[in-house]
Amino acid sequence: MGVAGFANIETFSFDIDSIYTHDAWRGRIRASAGVGASLAPDAVAVFDAELAAMLARRWPEDPMRVPHRVFAAIGIAP
């Protein structure tokens, strides 16, 4: 931002919990570039089944809380 000429640059961050059902979380992960966009359909199905089993075993609460960190930068435009 500084190179682009912005002034009075400030940053901040905060943590929030987003609520996801297991199905919704699996859908989000399947849609990610590292899974759905890069694996063959049969590999996506295997990955999804393994993820479902892991969620049930390690995070049995459904819906579950998924921690997220929000980062923001603000400044005055040139």
pLDDT digits (tens, 9 = 90+) for 5-30: 999 999 999 999 999 999 999 999 99
Residue the block writes with tokens 């435009």: 77
- How many beta carbons lie within 10 A of that of residue 14, not counting itself? 9
Sketch the domain layout of the chain as residue ranges: 7-76
19 within 8 A of 68, measured Cβ to Cβ: no
Type of residue at 65? R
Global pTM reads: 0.77
Determine the average pLDDT of the residues in 67-76. 98
- pLDDT band, residue 47 (cuts 50/70/90): very high
